[in-house]
């Protein structure tokens, strides 16, 4: 293996974390000196308003293993991660948050776990040092995700993860879907594992997520269930609903026809007749939507993240 071959890449999105960048770098460096693998650290500044990017550039000035990507604005964690994945050169890729709540001391345990045959290893913050307003909705959200997707992880949204390179090459996330990376990975038949990790209280800075995140999360969960279950067969989803609606409407129509023939008067059955006609129309529309969806192939074309970058340091 060439001396300069990168074995591990760290992809770290950061927004307004100027006080945490250098301590996090020092912790990662200390652990990696013991691991003895060639590594790089890629910080993605997602539209910070403070000196976060300046701190990253400062570290790069004396350690070229640290890379800096500065996005033009705040595009969200999905874009930041995808941008980092694009430039990561390691065969193994770590992601963790820049707020120092993820403890780099866990790095060797992740490596040991993935070497047992996994393609993605996700952290589980079994004991969380967050307000109950974050912990309780998170527990409910994780429970629903396990039930609806069948992916049996306790902490689906833990940012501390270790991937094999070919896993991130198959990701195409947008919006808030970064939270469901383990689900997308498992549905592609990659092996997904989990380890309990230590979680530290936030010392500086502020959380970037409010209560609206929980509402968006449940909407995204519905999206993920659809994408992972019907992305290759959308006609089955819409067609099933359409046939059900049309079938019920058709049976109502038969019943009204029977009454008309047998009794000759359906004066008081007109609302039921209207309902039957409406259900058949809706059924036809849903079936048509399913047929159109089958004509639209799922595109793997990814966003051109190069256009979103304001400046790069240490990256060709």
Q: How many Cβ atoms from other residues are within 10 Å of residue 148's Cβ?
A: 15
The angle, 0 to 180 degrees and rounded to 10, between the axes of the packed helices 270-295 and 234-262 is 160
- Sequence ranges of the domains in the chain: 8-230+303-313, 234-295
Tell me the two tokens of residue 186: 């498992």
> Which CATH number is 8-230+303-313's, of 3.90.950.10, 3.90.550.10, 3.60.21.10, 3.40.50.300?
3.90.550.10
User: What are 166-173's contacts with CB under 8 Å, separation 24+?
Assistant: 166/119, 167/119, 167/120, 168/85, 168/88, 168/93, 169/85, 171/82, 171/85, 172/82, 172/300, 172/302, 173/78, 173/81, 173/82
Where does the pLDDT of residue 232 fall: very low under 50, low under 70, confident under 90, or very high at 90 and above?
Answer: low
Q: What pLDDT, in 10s, does the model give residues 25-55?
A: 999 999 999 998 999 999 999 989 999 999 9
Where does the pLDDT of residue 1 fall: very low under 50, low under 70, confident under 90, or very high at 90 and above?
Answer: very low
Q: What pLDDT, in 10s, does the model give residues 58-70?
A: 999 999 999 999 9
* 93-107, 111-125, 193-207: least confident range: 193-207
User: Which residue from 52, 61, 222, 199 is spatially nearest to 127, judged by alpha carbons?
Assistant: 199
- Dist CA 125 CA 115 (whole Å): 21
Q: What pLDDT, in 10s, does the model give residues 138-193?
A: 888 889 889 988 898 999 889 999 999 999 988 888 878 898 999 999 988 899 99
Q: Name every residue whose Cβ is closer than 8 Å to that of residue 136 and which is 6 or more positions away in sequence.
A: none
Q: Name every residue whose Cβ is closer than 8 Å to that of residue 189 and which is 6 or more positions away in sequence.
A: none
Is residue 12 within 8 A of residue 66, CB to CB? The reply is no
- Dist CA 269 CA 261 (whole Å): 13
- Average pLDDT of the chain, as a whole number: 85
Is residue 269 within 8 A of residue 262, CB to CB? The reply is no
Is residue 93 within 8 A of residue 11, CB to CB? The reply is yes
């Amino acid at each position: 293996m060439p001396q300069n071959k990168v074995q591990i890449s760290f992809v770290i999105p950061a927004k307004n974390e100027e006080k945490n960048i250098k301590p996090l770098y020092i912790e990662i460096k200390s652990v990696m000196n013991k691991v003895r693998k060639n590594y790089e650290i890629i910080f993605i500044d997602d539209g910070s308003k403070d000196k976060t990017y300046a701190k990253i550039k400062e570290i790069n000035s004396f350690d070229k293993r640290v890379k800096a990507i500065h996005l033009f604005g705040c595009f969200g964690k999905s874009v930041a991660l995808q941008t980092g994945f694009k430039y990561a050169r390691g065969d193994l890729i770590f992601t963790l948050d820049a707020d120092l709540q993820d403890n780099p001391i866990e790095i060797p345990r992740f490596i040991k776990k993935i070497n047992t045959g996994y393609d993605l290893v996700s952290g589980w913050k079994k004991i969380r040092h967050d307000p109950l307003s974050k912990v309780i909705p998170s527990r409910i959200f994780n429970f629903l995700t396990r039930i609806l997707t069948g992916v049996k992880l306790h902490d689906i949204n833990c940012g501390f993860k270790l991937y094999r390179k070919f896993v991130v090459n198959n990701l195409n996330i947008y919006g808030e879907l970064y939270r469901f990376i383990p689900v997308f990975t498992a549905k592609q038949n990659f092996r997904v594992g989990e380890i309990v990790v230590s979680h530290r209280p936030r010392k500086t800075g502020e959380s970037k997520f409010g209560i609206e995140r929980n509402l968006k999360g449940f909407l995204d969960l519905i999206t993920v269930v659809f994408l992972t279950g019907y992305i290759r067969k959308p006609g089955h989803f819409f067609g099933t609903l359409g046939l059900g609606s049309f079938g019920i409407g058709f049976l109502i129509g038969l019943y009204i026809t029977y009454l008309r023939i047998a009794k000759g008067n359906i004066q008081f059955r007109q609302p039921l007749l209207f309902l039957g006609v409406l259900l058949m129309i809706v059924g036809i529309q849903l079936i048509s939507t399913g047929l159109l969806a089958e004509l639209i192939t799922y595109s793997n074309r990814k966003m051109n993240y190069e256009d979103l970058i304001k400046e790069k340091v240490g990256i060709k």
